[in-house]
Every structure is written in structure tokens, then in C-alpha cells.
């Protein structure tokens, strides 16, 4: 951090401290709920569970921990003066102990680092979410309590995702970034007591670089099938293609550009009536500029269920990435058939419909869209097959896997 940035942070923290003193917001350890098992979770932000797949997954994991009568302490890697998230109150309502800035009895600002130090003696597990978070906090946590079990939740294998991006783009900066992340992730694996990988595919790739499978646990996204009722729209009453994805994640922007520029022109040659809806948080200017009558860039919506319930087909032409794609699993929650790539399908078993739902070039992808969009019998077969595809991601299955992480 530069000298001027340090001065800025110091100034803002001092202003925050004075405000907290004035508002009498005091740290009191007795205000927090500790139980037999106490887990600290640190992520980049307070999870925005309706904006990105990683946050949604972590939120479901937190809910499962609470159901197991585990005390959860949630810390976001934010500067103290930036703790203004609307999501804080939502997690507190669930029963989560959420860090918020306070001052102690000596009027010292209780930063997130000081907060961790104060609760550390009672902690059992530190669940550190994403590579940079583990790298930043693991030493501090161990210094505060050497007996804490360190859990490295990779979310996805970042090296794998970036190396695939380099293969697609040939950008040497991306290659350098991939190699940098590999070093971070391997060092994290060495330091961790338990490593969480999001899929068997990611585990297989990680084992090529770090051959300690005994430390690895697979915890994917959490998906529970929504049973069809009388309100379920039949294929005859549906229309449009749907893509959902947060645009802070570069593979999503790339996929939407690929869909708009290369795939849909082929679809529109024979079916100009087919419309695409693009839903997702933080759309970039590049994505917003794609908006048209037939390519509807909607951006963030509070509740995406309406789109899943009315769309005729979900499309995810991902050319690079890693891990299990939450958008794919969510489609199957709603019995919505999917066309995606091998990258998008990772972690799922689509057989015996793999050839129907997976395509890896623009012509095949366009053909698969048209085939599923126009063949009602095939659409119904795939829709009815949805619960089998997401069974490994059920709450029951993930809950039993979390028990392995909680073991000391």
C-alpha cells in the first residue's frame, strides 16, 4: 500500500472511530453467540447470495452449518469504513455473528483483524473462502490460536480457469496470472488442514499438482430440485432463451459475447423469432452495448425465478472457466433444459443426454439450440431428467460432506 493510501485509510478509520464513539457502538464479546463448535468464515465481501454463484453456494453452506447447531462468525475482507452492505442484516437474521466495526472500552477501533484476534480462543475452524483470502489470513489466525483447523475453500481452481483462458486468448498476461495463482493455491494447500474442491473434475486437475487426496473434500454448489406442480409451464407455453451470470466474472462476459456475435446469428438464419434474455449483476459496458430487441440485456434482478420458470431453454456457451457452474444447476432446479459446453458441464453427469446438451463450436451450439427449441418431446425428456442430474448437489448430500470438514 502506498504512503498516500495509508494516510487515506488512517483518516477514514479515524473518522469511523469518532462516529462509533459518538453512537456508542461498543465491542462486547458477550454479545456474540458461541456454541460447542465455532466456525469463522471469511470471504471477499458479505455474500451477495442473489448476485453470484459463489456467494449463493457459501450462503447455503452457512445455512447448513447453522442447522447443525454450529456458531458461524462471518467476516468480509472489506476496509472497516466500507461495512454498509444490506446483506449484513439478512445474515444476522439467520443467526450469523457478522463482524461490524465497533470500538472497545478504550476507544480503540475494533478492526476485522482485532475482531478475529478477540474471538480466536473460542474458534474451532477457520473456513477461508477463495485463494487470496486464505493467503491473507491464515498466518494471523494461526498466531491467534494455533489449534484452529484451517480450511481452504478453493471455490474453483483459479489456475485451471486462467490457464484455459490463456489457451483461448493467448494473452501472456493471463498466462502470468495463471502461474501466479498456481503458486498461491499450492502454498495454501500446504498450509491448510483441509482443502475443499468444488467438483471431482477440479480435484482431478489439482491432484496433478498436489498429490494429497486425503486432505481434499468435494463440496459443490447446493441445489434442491423444485417439484413440478400444476403451475409449471409446459413447453408449449414457454419462449425465449435465458443466460444468467454475474459479470464480475470474466468467463460470463466472454460467453455472452460469443452467444451474441457467433451463435445467435446462425440461429436467427432459420428462426429469427427466438429472443435471448441476459440476466446478471454488474453488467459491463461491453455487455450493455449488446442490448437489442432480440438480445435483451436485463442486468440484475432481485428474483431470477420468473425467468427460469418461463424460459424455454437455458444457454451457457462458456469457453473457459473451472468448477461447477451454479447457473447450470439452478436451471435443473427449475426443470429447464440446457445447452452448454464441456466447460459448462463440468461436475455434472448429463448422460445419456450429453450429446444433446453439450456443444463446443458455434455451429453445433446453434443446431442444439434449434433442436431443443423446436422438439417438444425431447424437451420434455430433458426436463423430466433434471432431478437425476442435480441429485449429487442436494442439501442432504452436501450436508453429510460438510460433516467431514467439521471433524477435528
Whether the per-residue pLDDT at 247 is higher than 80: the answer is yes
Compute the distance between CA of residue 248 and CA of residue 252 in angstroms, rounded to an integer.
8
Label residue 103 by pLDDT band (50, 70, 90): very high
Among candidates 196, 203, 191, which has minimal Cα distance to 160? 203
Phi (first) and psi of residue 226, to 5 degrees: -95, 110
For the stretch 254-287, what's the b/e string if a residue is b when 16 or more beta carbons lie within 10 angstroms of its beta carbon? bbbebbbeebbebbeeeeeebebbbbbbbbeeeb
Q: How far is CA 39 from the centre of its chain?
A: 20
Question: Is residue 403 reached through a cis peptide bond, with omega within 30 degrees of 0 on the bond before it?
Answer: no
Compute the distance between CA of residue 54 and CA of residue 326 in angstroms, rounded to an integer.
8
Cβ neighbors of 151 (< 8 A, separation 6 or more) are 125, 126, 127, 128, 192, 193, 194, 195, 196, 405
Compute the distance between CA of residue 278 and CA of residue 50 in angstroms, rounded to an integer.
15
Percent of the chain predicted with pLDDT > 70: 99
pLDDT given for residue 321 in this prediction: 83
pLDDT given for residue 1 in this prediction: 59
Compute the distance between CA of residue 405 and CA of residue 64 in angstroms, rounded to an integer.
12
Q: Could you give the maximum distance between any two Cα atoms of the chain, in Å?
A: 73
Q: List, in order of start, the domains of the chain with CATH numbers.
A: 3-222+396-406 (3.40.50.2000), 235-393 (3.40.50.2000)
Which phi-psi region, left, alpha or beta, contains residue 351 (left: φ > 0; alpha: ψ -120 to 50)? Answer: beta
Average pLDDT, the chain: 94
Label residue 206 by pLDDT band (50, 70, 90): very high
pLDDT given for residue 58 in this prediction: 95
Q: For the segment 375-405, what is each residue's pLDDT rounded down to a tens digit? A: 999 999 999 999 999 988 888 889 989 999 9
Pinpoint the alpha helices (H) of 289-375.
Answer: 305-310, 326-333, 342-345, 354-357, 362-374
| Overall average pLDDT of the 25-46 stretch | 96
Q: List the single range of 162-171, 251-260, 348-357 with lowest mean pLDDT.
A: 162-171
Q: For the segment 304-352, what is each residue's pLDDT rounded down to a tens digit? A: 999 999 999 999 999 988 888 889 999 999 999 999 999 999 989 999 9
pLDDT given for residue 4 in this prediction: 73
**Does residue 335 sit in helix, strand or coil?**
coil
Label residue 162 by pLDDT band (50, 70, 90): very high
Q: For the segment 127-153, what is each residue's pLDDT rounded down to a tens digit? A: 999 999 999 999 999 999 999 999 999
Label residue 54 by pLDDT band (50, 70, 90): confident
Amino acid at each position: 500500500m502506498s504512503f498516500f493510501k495509508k494516510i487515506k485509510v488512517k483518516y477514514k478509520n479515524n473518522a469511523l472511530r469518532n462516529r462509533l464513539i459518538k453512537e456508542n457502538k461498543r465491542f462486547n464479546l458477550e454479545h456474540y453467540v458461541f456454541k460447542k463448535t465455532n466456525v469463522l468464515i471469511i470471504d471477499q465481501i458479505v455474500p451477495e447470495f442473489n448476485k453470484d454463484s459463489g456467494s449463493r453456494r457459501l450462503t447455503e453452506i452457512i445455512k447448513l452449518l447453522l442447522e447443525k447447531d454450529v456458531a458461524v462468525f462471518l467476516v468480509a475482507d472489506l476496509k472497516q469504513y466500507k461495512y454498509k452492505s444490506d446483506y449484513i442484516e439478512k445474515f444476522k437474521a439467520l443467526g450469523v455473528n457478522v463482524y461490524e466495526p465497533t470500538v472497545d472500552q478504550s476507544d480503540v477501533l475494533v478492526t476485522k483483524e482485532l475482531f478475529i484476534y478477540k474471538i480466536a480462543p473460542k474458534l474451532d475452524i477457520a473456513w477461508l473462502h477463495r485463494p487470496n483470502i486464505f493467503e491473507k489470513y491464515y498466518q494471523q489466525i494461526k498466531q491467534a490460536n494455533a489449534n484452529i483447523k484451517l480450511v481452504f475453500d478453493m471455490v474453483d481452481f483459479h489456475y485451471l480457469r486462467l490457464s484455459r483462458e490463456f489457451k483461448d486468448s493467448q494473452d501472456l498476461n493471463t498466462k502470468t496470472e495463471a502461474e501466479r495463482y498456481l503458486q498461491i493455491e499450492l502454498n495454501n494447500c500446504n498450509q491448510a488442514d483441509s482443502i475443499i474442491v468444488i467438483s471431482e473434475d477440479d480435484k482431478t486437475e489439482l491432484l496433478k499438482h498436489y498429490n494429497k487426496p486425503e486432505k481434499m473434500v468435494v463440496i459443490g454448489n447446493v441445489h434442491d430440485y423444485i417439484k413440478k406442480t400444476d403451475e409449471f409451464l409446459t413447453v408449449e407455453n414457454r419462449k425465449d432463451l435465458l443466460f444468467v451470470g454475474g459479470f464480475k466474472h470474466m468467463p460470463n462476459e466472454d460467453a455472452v459475447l460469443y452467444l451474441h456475435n457467433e451463435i445467435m446469428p446462425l440461429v436467427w438464419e432459420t428462426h429469427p423469432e427466438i429472443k435471448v434474455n441476459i440476466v446478471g449483476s454488474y453488467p459491463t459496458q461491453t455487455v450493455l452495448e449488446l442490448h437489442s430487441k432480440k438480445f435483451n440485456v436485463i442486468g440484475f434482478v432481485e428474483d431470477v425465478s420468473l425467468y427460469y420458470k418461463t424460459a424455454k431453454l437455458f444457454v451457457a456457451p462458456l469457453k473457459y472457466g473451472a468448477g461447477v457452474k451454479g447457473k447450470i444447476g439452478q436451471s435443473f432446479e427449475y426443470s429447464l433444459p440446457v445447452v452448454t459446453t464441456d466447460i459448462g458441464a463440468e461436475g455434472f453427469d448429463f448422460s445419456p443426454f450429453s450429446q444433446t446438451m453439450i456443444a463446443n463450436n458455434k455451429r453445433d451450439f446453434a443446431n442444439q439450440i434449434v433442436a431443443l427449441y423446436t422438439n417438444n418431446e425431447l424437451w420434455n425428456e430433458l426436463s423430466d431428467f433434471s432431478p437425476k442430474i442435480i441429485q449429487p448437489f442436494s442439501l442432504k448430500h452436501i450436508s453429510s460432506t460438510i460433516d467431514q470438514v467439521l471433524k477435528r
